Chains A and B, each alone.
Chain A
């Protein structure tokens, strides 16, 4: 189990500041959801934690500094699932999941029997083993997302970074994927940092939320503290009503402007 600590993180992309002195933390085996309007810096924060961007400030997973870790060591610690991954259409599910073993292989070595077993186990766990021989180009949205998670799981990471894991999915599949992630978190102690579009779902699944706005953290904490009508109205420029749902979590409902008459 690993905790993530982000301290005064700043990232510039093409000389434009995208993140400004962001400080946040995820508890070991916790789930922090990054929310915020488009362009707030959510994906940039994830990519910085994944070690894919140059940054100022510090990002630590347990005691290890992300900027100091070398590629393979970092990849054994952190798995990253982008929002729009490149999926070679002719590659089979089995081959793709096996790519997750890459950080565990020496530079010139091939996947061993044990690597194949681990990949098969990850596929089994996410229920994609049934179509292991199918090509990636033939998967439905829900299958695709599970295959992505299976690859990340084959990596045996202690931290899972998920960029919009539920985009392009219908409601049922959204819930299925989020439940799977929560299972991994509780069952294997994986620490999860994700972006999520749907505010109500973010509150239901993630233990804590961080609301990003223009590269800064606007509010952070449990759902009830972050999902308030005032904050959402200001940050998203949206009209919403926040009520309490049957499960006790906040429910964010869009409200239409009364028709002018």
Chain B
């Protein structure tokens, strides 16, 4: 039972990581690439950590897995925010199909869309 559960969690986590890779390769601009990468990789890593903690139910494993998960949940959001701000301020090009561009005009200029 535990074996099946951890196998399913490992497959789910690896699938999410693969989706992150495909998203980073296929998405059209910096900001969409970033959301594909951060969301999928955080949830994927969470699934993998849960699978490892299920497979080795000892205190040292569970505590380490939980601390890695908490650390990644905190830092992935911060890193994504910082890169997005840097990309927006350095005037990274945005996808042509974007409907709402909330970046201020004095940063992006009138015709970067």
A binds B: no
**Which residues of B are in contact with A by a Cβ distance under 8 Å?**
none
**Which residues of A are in contact with B by a Cβ distance under 8 Å?**
none
